[in-house]
Structure 1
Amino acid sequence: MPTLHTPLRHARLIEDVVRGGRAAERYDPRIRDSWQRCLADYALQPSAKRQPTMVRGAELRERRERSGAIYPIAQIEMRTLTQLLNAPVGVMLTDGDGVILGYCGDPSFAEMAARAGFREGAIWSEAEQGTNGMGTCLALGTPVLIDGPEHFLSQNAGLTCCAAPIVDGRGQLVGTLNISGRLQLSAGPTQALVSLAVQNIENRALLEAHRRHHLLRFHPHREFVSTAGEGLLAFDDNGRVLAANRSALGWLDRSSHVEVHGTTVESLFGCKLERLLALSRSSAHALPLPQRDGGLLCYGILQSPATPRLELARPLADAEREALRETLERCRWNVSVAAAQLAISRRTLYRKLERHGLQRYRAG
């Protein structure tokens, strides 16, 4: 597309395209619709200078916490993408409102990122910044690449942005992952990279969020179970499906999360729950799953609910510590007498005292 040199020319082009003028056919209908929203719904002006609205401090921390495992997992993927691209780009994670929760960028892009307003806490929704990778991705719920003058605001016309939506295990749109740079990004390879990173984020976040539930990991090819393309289903003790990833929908020939969430694994695979639960007692290798109505043969591994060891360990440790303290106080810190009352050796008692940081003291 031609480079637009002035804000005025950019504004005239947008007006012409939205009216259906001669230039309209050169632009993707999604871009035209986004420009229409910016003018009619958000009352934005293409030539106006806009600084992103910011959320700071406690609100930004609260938004990161609400993202659950997505934010810390995305941090890893963002650093990997930055290193892999090795180019003047920035990688950003937003929440569902377009607020940038995390930023990671190449040092050569730092100055451009600062001018553009790519910083943590900045809001990049369409209503705030017009047509852009993050905001338009959230508006459409699909991957987008916004190239140069396809941005609504002329101040962003020097950028190319590629974003993909992040959904949770129920199919709810919870954020985006975006790459922005001042170079022309190849649509196919860049979108593939972003989509793969999003797939990793969604899968790991689902596994983390449902550690206390049954987790079925499956794939039509046995060797691809526990890889990025595996299907994931989380279900409770009654077999009710609580979450699924996008690959699971594909392998089960379902088009949306609504068709899976709240149903039972018995209805999905056409077998008794006990048969699926038996997978967790079998070999660690993926085993054939039951087929329903001549469906796709898949191989799966079932992970049993994880024991919340950390939550249990703390109360147990605190209880033991208090029991030791009470016994020693009662015995006036006579270790031999306390060990006899506790039915343990003096050596064991000393080890426990050291582990709990208990030592003799005198009141007053």
Structure 2
Amino acid sequence: MRTAPRTLSTEGLPAQPFFQTPEQRAALARQRFFDEDVRPSGLVSEAVIQSWGRSRSLGHTRHKCPSLDPVSRASLNATLARNRELLDAAQLDLNQLEASLTGTQCRVLLTDATGVIVHVTHGAREPGQGTLNVASRVGVNLAEGHIGTTAPGIVVRTGLASTVLGCEHYYDMFQDMRCAAAPIRDVQGRLVGVLDLSTESRGFGFDAASVVGVFATSIENRLLQAQSDRHLVLHFQAAPALLGTPMEGLAGVSTDGEVVWLNATGHSLLGRGPKQPQGSVGELLGLEMRQLLALCGTPSARLVQLPSGLGIWMKVELRMPDGVDVPHGVGWSAAPAPVAPATSVPHERDAPAQHHEADEAAEANGVVPAPAAAAPTGAPSLAEAQQALIVRSLQANGGNVARTARQLGVSRGLVYRHLRKPATD
């Protein structure tokens, strides 16, 4: 005997049990959280829910208008001065990002570690973006304590990339805005800035989280290198074509062979967690300092096998204590020999008067005698390696200081100073 098919009862179900768009889910989440005091798990991200909770506990009232006044002029000047290194490292990428976004009506913002805007897109304000025009001014604080839930506010609070769309913002007045933000860290792993893309009254039309993430990584990589004036900087990746891009791994190595910092890609390639101690180059890379110093002279990347068995392509950059980058391929041999500066060029204090006068005459002509390198006595320190690099370049250029300085990308005075360093330097 055939039985009639069983029908499911819809009694008790809401009129719209399913919400197809993120906007609909966010609106329902907002209703449950603010009107029904129910945690809307699964409707919006956990980061947004937690930020709503923090914002409410801070006393924000979503129907009111938060203060969007910039910090005082004195405080802003101090903030800009304190973040000069970040701004310098970010300038090129900010210009490129702004050029890429021409015509999208997106605003590019850079904040410091506390959420204060230190850079904003130049140019005329777009029509229909009145709220964004007011909120995106240099000196405005975007932290949760000031304007509740926003993407840069979440990044400042958590250190994690975030996207906040429409009514996911805490305040009602921001419900037409969309923002995506990513963190920027320094060599000590501290949050130093947040890069943000924001728009109002329209969608991004592209994956804003991916775009802002790439440019934030590029800024962070530049900052890490700028802060490594006494480190060997290692550039590495599994594919050589990725070197020189935001996807390359970077590491800073101190004079004693310790890896003092790694960028996010470097952590992944070397299998180190962000909170794990870095260790030595021997432990992480299976290399000695002499081998790394030898790579400074290679015109192209070299294939290196890690202790894990993974093969990576690597370039090594030697940075002067003066903060000057030494270009690759300046003349390092496979086993660079250390140089004893005191025996190669007499110091001014120890040189006889006649020799000092001869030095001055030679310097006036832009040529000095190229000193001879000392015999190898072990793995060179970075200071010895830098000294040896100048000496070798000077020898290759027949003692011509001006040509040597141009080749190294430094001033002639810097070359003279390095050649006159006493043995105790």
TM-score w.r.t. the length of structure 2 is 0.65
CA distance in 2, matches of 1:178, 1:193: 10
Letter in 2 for 1:77: D
Q: 1:309-334 deviations in whole A, cap 9, x for unaligned?
A: 88xxxxxxxxxxxx9xxxxxxxxxxx
Q: 1:295-315 deviations in whole A, cap 9, x for unaligned?
A: x211111112225288xxxxx
How much has 1:52 moved relative to structure 2?
Answer: 2.5
Say if 2:41 is the partner of 1:27. no
Match of 2:35 in 1: 16
Segments of 5+ residues of structure 1 without an aligned counterpart are: 311-322, 324-340, 350-364
How much has 1:150 moved relative to structure 2?
Answer: 0.8
CA distance in 2, matches of 1:73, 1:162: 21
Match of 2:308 in 1: 293
Letter in 2 for 1:259: Q
Question: Matched residue of 1:298: which SS?
Answer: strand
How much has 1:211 moved relative to structure 2?
Answer: 3.0
Kept in 2, the 8 Å contact 1:160–1:181? The answer is yes
Match of 1:254 in 2: 272
Q: Please say which of residues 77-86 and 143-152 is displaced more in the overlay.
A: 77-86
Question: Matched residue of 2:272: which SS?
Answer: coil
Question: Matched residue of 1:97: which SS?
Answer: coil
How much has 1:260 moved relative to structure 2?
Answer: 4.4
In structure 2, do the counterparts of structure 1 residues 52 and 10 end up closer, same or farther at CA, with 3 Å as the change threshold? farther
In structure 2, do the counterparts of structure 1 residues 197 and 290 end up closer, same or farther at CA, with 3 Å as the change threshold? same
In structure 2, do the counterparts of structure 1 residues 136 and 129 end up closer, same or farther at CA, with 3 Å as the change threshold? same
How much has 1:167 moved relative to structure 2?
Answer: 1.6
| Residue in structure 2 matching 1:196, options 214, 220, 228 | 214
Letter in 2 for 1:75: Q
CA distance in 1, matches of 2:142, 2:163: 15
Q: Please say which of residues 183-192 and 26-35 is displaced more in the overlay.
A: 183-192
| Residue in structure 2 matching 1:38, options 40, 55, 79 | 55
Identical amino acids, percent of aligned pairs:
23
Kept in 1, the 8 Å contact 2:90–2:222? The answer is no
Q: Within 5 Å, which residues of 2 pair with 1:120-135?
A: 120-135=138-153
Say if 2:76 is the partner of 1:57. no
CA distance in 1, matches of 2:306, 2:207: 35
Match of 2:372 in 1: none
Match of 2:6 in 1: none
Match of 2:96 in 1: 80
Question: Matched residue of 2:60: which SS?
Answer: coil
CA distance in 1, matches of 2:233, 2:30: 52
Say if 2:177 is the partner of 1:162. no
In structure 2, do the counterparts of structure 1 residues 3 and 28 end up closer, same or farther at CA, with 3 Å as the change threshold? closer
Question: Matched residue of 1:128: which SS?
Answer: helix
Letter in 2 for 1:266: G
Comparing both chains, which one has the higher relative contact order based on Cα–Cα distances under 8 Å and sequence gaps of 6 or more? 1
Question: Matched residue of 1:39: which SS?
Answer: helix
RMSD over aligned CA atoms reads 3.5
Kept in 2, the 8 Å contact 1:233–1:242? The answer is yes
Match of 1:172 in 2: 190
Question: Matched residue of 2:126: which SS?
Answer: helix
In structure 2, do the counterparts of structure 1 residues 2 and 299 end up closer, same or farther at CA, with 3 Å as the change threshold? closer
Match of 2:317 in 1: 303
In structure 2, do the counterparts of structure 1 residues 17 and 128 end up closer, same or farther at CA, with 3 Å as the change threshold? farther
Q: 1:26-72 deviations in whole A, cap 9, x for unaligned?
A: 332322221111112x1111011112353233432332333353212
Say if 2:199 is the partner of 1:181. yes
Match of 1:316 in 2: none
Match of 1:143 in 2: 161
Letter in 2 for 1:144: S
Q: Please say which of residues 269-278 and 29-38 is displaced more in the overlay.
A: 269-278
In structure 2, do the counterparts of structure 1 residues 113 and 81 end up closer, same or farther at CA, with 3 Å as the change threshold? farther
In structure 2, do the counterparts of structure 1 residues 37 and 245 end up closer, same or farther at CA, with 3 Å as the change threshold? same
Letter in 1 for 2:46: P
Q: Within 5 Å, which residues of 2 pair with 1:339-350?
A: none
Letter in 2 for 1:293: S
Say if 2:282 is the partner of 1:266. yes
Question: Matched residue of 2:194: which SS?
Answer: strand
Segments of 5+ residues of structure 2 without an aligned counterpart are: 1-22, 325-347, 349-355, 366-425
Q: Within 5 Å, which residues of 2 pair with 1:175-254?
A: 175-186=193-204, 189-254=207-272
CA distance in 1, matches of 2:30, 2:292: 60
Question: Matched residue of 1:163: which SS?
Answer: strand
How much has 1:105 moved relative to structure 2?
Answer: 4.8
In structure 2, do the counterparts of structure 1 residues 105 and 24 end up closer, same or farther at CA, with 3 Å as the change threshold? farther
Q: 1:94-147 deviations in whole A, cap 9, x for unaligned?
A: 111111111115524376256542111111101110001110122232221111
Question: Matched residue of 1:176: which SS?
Answer: strand
Q: Please say which of residues 125-134 and 47-56 is displaced more in the overlay.
A: 47-56
Aligned residue pairs total 315
Letter in 2 for 1:19: V
TM-score w.r.t. the length of structure 1 is 0.76
**Greater share of residues in helix:** 1
In structure 2, do the counterparts of structure 1 residues 209 and 309 end up closer, same or farther at CA, with 3 Å as the change threshold? closer
In structure 2, do the counterparts of structure 1 residues 4 and 106 end up closer, same or farther at CA, with 3 Å as the change threshold? farther
| Residue in structure 2 matching 1:277, options 277, 290, 293 | 293
Q: 1:248-269 deviations in whole A, cap 9, x for unaligned?
A: 111112221x3244x2112111
How much has 1:91 moved relative to structure 2?
Answer: 0.9
CA distance in 1, matches of 2:253, 2:70: 39
In structure 2, do the counterparts of structure 1 residues 250 and 11 end up closer, same or farther at CA, with 3 Å as the change threshold? closer
